[in-house]
Structure 1
């Protein structure tokens, strides 16, 4: 009985099922139908459990499955132990990297440690890439079918464990979380230093009118909203994204240089090669080209463009580097659109006031500065208006609203 229970725990149901079926037939032959029914119920429970626990082909037995997922600082190795088509053990190991060890070396070391810890006697190991292990252990890299599915499952387990660790670390050790993201961005974007200070630019000229631009700032991967800046385009006539980008980048970094403010480690331009080239012209004019890293992100396929490189970089859609860049781009777009709408709204209000005889741009601005809105100007008394613009203009304004 104890030996059979051990076999069930290991995923081998065959001996127990054979025993119960033989016992059921014996009891039925002796006309002991109630007892035979109880045995049948046990058989059904075992078969149901076997179906639920069988994740691959039942013929796959006594196999160890390993996978690895890593970043700049840590590696996560998942181990699945299979017996008779069932997973009888799952374990994920976190390893802190000391050097820039390749995944192959880390996985090979982890396999030996894990197998020793759980006293694995399996002669066959499934992994996603070839490895050199001690003699007597066969390494298989499945390409298709159930064997490949079980390796994929192991990799998903490693990724899930990694994400859960990230969530915990973000709460318990935010500095470690930030450091890891910064190191990953440096690696993914081929930067010479971690992008602790990033600035992103976006143009906005809805329907071709009132062109504006926005610059948002991220420090350590998080928005620094007090450092956001709006720009009203001054030197460009009409909707010209390239010229507008050239203007705002020039104005932004000329001012930072004049005021001896720290420059960003990375500039992100919302746009493809054209907008990136325009921004580069301004950096070159200021003598900053090559001193500040700069990239462009195109909206259609989220491809990343680098200076003097016609071939874009495509980051994994789930990568944290791409997520930060998308967050920068979206925040710059939101900030720019908000400013653009406010500007158009203010312009519409001024136009309403300037349509009154005798009221020009300066008078309209003076009234709005004092009363804050057209509604309050309409509600103001003649005396209040006269104090601001004189009795003659005040009467014209008052009469136009009453």
Structure 2
């Protein structure tokens, strides 16, 4: 059966919530998406010109559209999440399904055991988690074992077997770690009371256990049973110590999931904090690889569904930095101030730290990965034919028209190469003429590189607008380099990027790494040029003071400054020291001028 044309497929789509799937000519899945209104959402891909190049590429490849209608948007979210994980389509955000997190299991038994596991068996047992850290699980189990004497054996402690005396107490009983339910030495009711308190501790609620231990301690103290009272006090101390390690937010904030997101050009980072009884009981961050320049909102909506499913969260409310659509059964709160806002800020901080750590790890494991990624991104953003491994940036400095100079800074692999920086005194231009000055320094720089057969940059950046850029392009034309080196200008006010012969500027995302590198180049060129200009003005001023002495010209003043380094030292110098530099006659003039 022939697949109908895309137009017909779109027209026959329902206006219901559901999930759509795009396939290429080979029947390979390209993309999975969710929608409130399938017809409206799918049509939008084909009705407009897309800013993202990757979306444009994907749309050209689509040869078949399939869809699944569901009852609600919440169902669509879950189905989209599951299909992405199952098929890992080429153009979808990359989601990894981690199934190896540890859980704490309370076994479905007459005298339940409590232990950690990575396997979930549907036998009526209770599973708490999953936990992102094995260390957290082990700490919790150690805490439980210090507080409660529960069995660790795997015997079938049925009433009949215990009554028939099938089991004998083991070493754990003699060590005081178990109360011997295998020989009916501990009542079932007492054991189950302990299990109920363990449930609360695993959920992060220490209040009931602390209250019960305090009542028992008081009762023992009143009966003069001080050893038993001390034992309970030790347990209270252990619980309070553990509770203090949890980040306590506000006891009134209970059973809430907190999410935040931050992203760069290639990845999104979503942090999840789980709150129970005012304390953070879980923190986890996931990294999501972008495929179609997804917005922070799209990333967050997808991640919320994924994380809540992964950690089996049933919290009825979530805190987020902005409004998201995650179904009708979850209350979405966007805090503006107070403790709730603080916890969202904390979550965002965790996402930022995670991103920084990932970059550090990448640099250690693969030092070139970050540079290669950045160069690839700059090539794409600036529409270059090759990666800009070698970039040079020019800036003019002529405050009030005096001492005109220019600076050229060099970046290699996105980092400053200070040994290659160059400064220029403007030689052929009279007065403050930025355009002519730019043409002169660009010409001089690349004539020299050509004469010395040095490598040319892949990108030249001119600090200035269209006028400065045109002047630099003229210099390249004279040297027959036009078209061989990419060149752009950056205007300061709105960070506009200009290309030769194009009156419409390019605007990059303010968070873009490409823009950050260009800004760093521009700022470094400005700093380097201003420093050179300041030093030149300073030396000129000093030289002028010496030239005011009758009989002392510019050449003599320069020689004196080179030798003595400052006018003050020249003033204080002995006549014989001055004579060694400029001869007796001029030394006498200078000495008399300062000491008469």
- What is the TM-score with the length of structure 1 in the denominator? 0.69
Query: What is the correspondence of 1:3-402 to structure 2 with a 5 Å cutoff?
Result: 3-20=196-213, 22-23=215-216, 26=219, 30=222, 42=236, 46=240, 49=243, 53-56=247-250, 58-61=252-255, 63-95=256-288, 97=289, 99-100=291-292, 102=294, 114-115=307-308, 118-122=311-315, 127=320, 128=322, 130=324, 138-144=329-335, 149-183=342-376, 190-193=381-384, 194-206=387-399, 208-239=401-432, 241=434, 244-245=437-438, 247-249=440-442, 251-252=444-445, 262-269=456-463, 275-285=464-474, 286=476, 288=482, 291-298=486-493, 303-307=494-498, 308=503, 315-316=510-511, 324-344=517-537, 347=540, 394=583, 396-400=585-589
Contact 1:77 1:107 in 2 (8 A): yes
Of 19-28 and 279-288, deviating more is 19-28
Of 368-377 and 167-176, deviating more is 368-377
The structure with more radius of gyration: 2
Contact 1:76 1:94 in 2 (8 A): yes
Contact 1:25 1:36 in 2 (8 A): yes
Local SS of the residue matching 1:280: helix
**1-structure distance, mates of 2:393, 2:291:** 33
**1-structure distance, mates of 2:587, 2:244:** 87
Q: Note the C-alpha offset of 1:281.
A: 2.5
Q: Measured at CA, do residues 310 and 45 of structure 1 come closer, stay the same or move farther in structure 2, by a change above 3 Å?
A: same
Q: Measured at CA, do residues 379 and 100 of structure 1 come closer, stay the same or move farther in structure 2, by a change above 3 Å?
A: farther
Q: Measured at CA, do residues 242 and 40 of structure 1 come closer, stay the same or move farther in structure 2, by a change above 3 Å?
A: farther
Q: Note the C-alpha offset of 1:282.
A: 0.8
Contact 2:323 2:334 in 1 (8 A): no
Deviations for 1:10-61, whole angstroms, at most 9, x for unmatched residues?
A: 2213422442454466557x56597779868939974994796432463531
Q: Note the C-alpha offset of 1:162.
A: 0.5
**2-structure distance, mates of 1:186, 1:123:** 46
**2-structure distance, mates of 1:126, 1:346:** 61
**1-structure distance, mates of 2:523, 2:491:** 14
Q: Measured at CA, do residues 323 and 38 of structure 1 come closer, stay the same or move farther in structure 2, by a change above 3 Å?
A: farther
Q: Note the C-alpha offset of 1:100.
A: 3.5
**1-structure distance, mates of 2:439, 2:331:** 55
Deviations for 1:228-267, whole angstroms, at most 9, x for unmatched residues?
A: 2212123444445566446544654566678785244251
**2-structure distance, mates of 1:377, 1:140:** 86
Deviations for 1:311-354, whole angstroms, at most 9, x for unmatched residues?
A: 977835xx755654454344323422343344345546765776
Q: Note the C-alpha offset of 1:296.
A: 2.7
Contact 2:317 2:330 in 1 (8 A): yes
Q: Note the C-alpha offset of 1:200.
A: 2.6
Match of 1:388 in 2: none
Contact 1:73 1:180 in 2 (8 A): no
Contact 2:316 2:331 in 1 (8 A): no
**2-structure distance, mates of 1:313, 1:72:** 11
**2-structure distance, mates of 1:379, 1:173:** 63
Q: Measured at CA, do residues 346 and 242 of structure 1 come closer, stay the same or move farther in structure 2, by a change above 3 Å?
A: same
Q: Note the C-alpha offset of 1:362.
A: 6.4
Deviations for 1:201-235, whole angstroms, at most 9, x for unmatched residues?
A: 33334565212111111111211223222121234
Q: Measured at CA, do residues 394 and 168 of structure 1 come closer, stay the same or move farther in structure 2, by a change above 3 Å?
A: same
Aligned length: 374
Q: Measured at CA, do residues 266 and 64 of structure 1 come closer, stay the same or move farther in structure 2, by a change above 3 Å?
A: farther
Unpaired runs of 5+ residues, structure 2, are 1-193, 592-596
Of 289-298 and 331-340, deviating more is 289-298
Q: Measured at CA, do residues 144 and 347 of structure 1 come closer, stay the same or move farther in structure 2, by a change above 3 Å?
A: closer
- What is the TM-score with the length of structure 2 in the denominator? 0.50
**2-structure distance, mates of 1:152, 1:250:** 51
Of 49-58 and 73-82, deviating more is 49-58
Q: Measured at CA, do residues 102 and 326 of structure 1 come closer, stay the same or move farther in structure 2, by a change above 3 Å?
A: closer
Q: Which has the higher helix share?
A: 1
Q: Measured at CA, do residues 328 and 378 of structure 1 come closer, stay the same or move farther in structure 2, by a change above 3 Å?
A: farther
Q: Measured at CA, do residues 311 and 170 of structure 1 come closer, stay the same or move farther in structure 2, by a change above 3 Å?
A: closer
